Amino acid sequence: MTAMLEFDVEAARQVEAVYLTADVVQQRREVVRLLALAAGEAVLDIGSGPGLLATDLARAVGSTGRVCGIDVSDSMLALARGRAVLAGSAPVEYRHGGVDAVPYPDGSFDAAVSTQVLEYVADIRAALAEALRVLRPGGRMLVLDTDWSSIVWHSTDPERMRRILLTWEQHLADPFLPRTLGRQLRRAGFDVAPPQVLTLLNVGYEAATYSGQLIPIVARFVTGRDGWTAADVDGWVEDLQTLGPDSFFSLNRYVFCATKPQ
């Protein structure tokens, strides 16, 4: 069993399902708005996952633009390459590539974006150096990550929930990245605007929400770790799925907009 969450075929499918919920559709809309893309711009999506954001970016820059996505997961790249791009959108190219070795020349992009990726990365310094390298002077960078200590998730067994979430934190290299990300972006050489917060809030249980789709992802990851048995985890899942109107979930994601100096 690997330490962090591995984006195999099943995990890629689960992530795609959670990213198709209205909660994450709204998050992508906000990310695209904050990037303030102009027609014809070239954009890099670092850790492009299932390609949902890259598809939105392609629409934003239009047919004269260019969108490139890189990822280390073949399962994610397969999902992304199978995704239809709307008429009038930029072409989208996907390449296998790590955040620490971006397969494009210096100054290739007007903008770069990395959502829910850097928290999986051990060497943030190398990742940010690569992002800076492939941006043109004046190019924009948007990074979005979750601070998992911001989670509020109601359960009838708060102690079990606390321990499940402790195991779940192991799915990332840094579950609390946002609190140090501004400093790390500045140290990498970016000019950094004050961060913004996007809250995912689900009240009342519904399967087709961020939290509803997160439950099976957490269940799959924690089972077999820290002594959690399938029966233990089934109990946790059943509790959450039967709370009905008493279900309460809130989680903060932080958005950093940065610029490569001229």
Ligand X SMILES: C[S@@+](CC[C@H](N)C(=O)[O-])C[C@H]1O[C@@H](n2cnc3c(N)ncnc32)[C@H](O)[C@@H]1O
Contact between 117 and ligand X per CB under 6 A: yes
| Contacts (Cβ under 8 Å, ≥6 apart) of 200 | 23, 27, 210, 211, 249, 250, 251, 252, 253
Strands 92-96 and 66-71: parallel
Residue 15 binding ligand X, by CB under 6 A: yes
80 binds ligand X (CB under 6 A): no
Shortest distance in whole angstroms from residue 5 CB to ligand X:
8
Closest by Cα among 57, 16, 18 to 34: 57
Residue from 35, 42, 52, 90 binding ligand X (CB under 6 A): 52
Q: Which of 17, 19, 139, 192 binds ligand X (CB under 6 A)?
A: 19
Stretch that binds ligand X, among 36-44, 71-79, 223-231, 238-246 (CB under 6 A): 71-79
- Orientation of helix 210-222 relative to helix 230-241, angle to 10°: 170
Q: How far apart are CA 207 and CA 18, in angstroms?
A: 10
- Min dist CB 73 to ligand X, Å, is 3
For residues 235 and 229, give the distance between their C-alpha atoms in angstroms, rounded to a whole number.
10
The nearer residue to ligand X, 121 or 164, going by C-beta atoms, is 121
The span of 42-50, 192-200, 211-219, 248-256 binding ligand X (CB under 6 A) equals: 42-50
The residue written with tokens 């007007």 in the block is: 110
Residue whose beta carbon is closest to ligand X: 49
The answer to whether residues 22 and 211 touch, using CB atoms and an 8 Å cutoff, is no
Quick one: which segment of 68-76, 164-172, 177-185, 254-262 binds ligand X (CB under 6 A)? 68-76
Give the footprint of ligand X on this chain (CB under 6 A): 7, 15, 19, 47-49, 52-53, 71-73, 76, 98-99, 115-117, 120-121
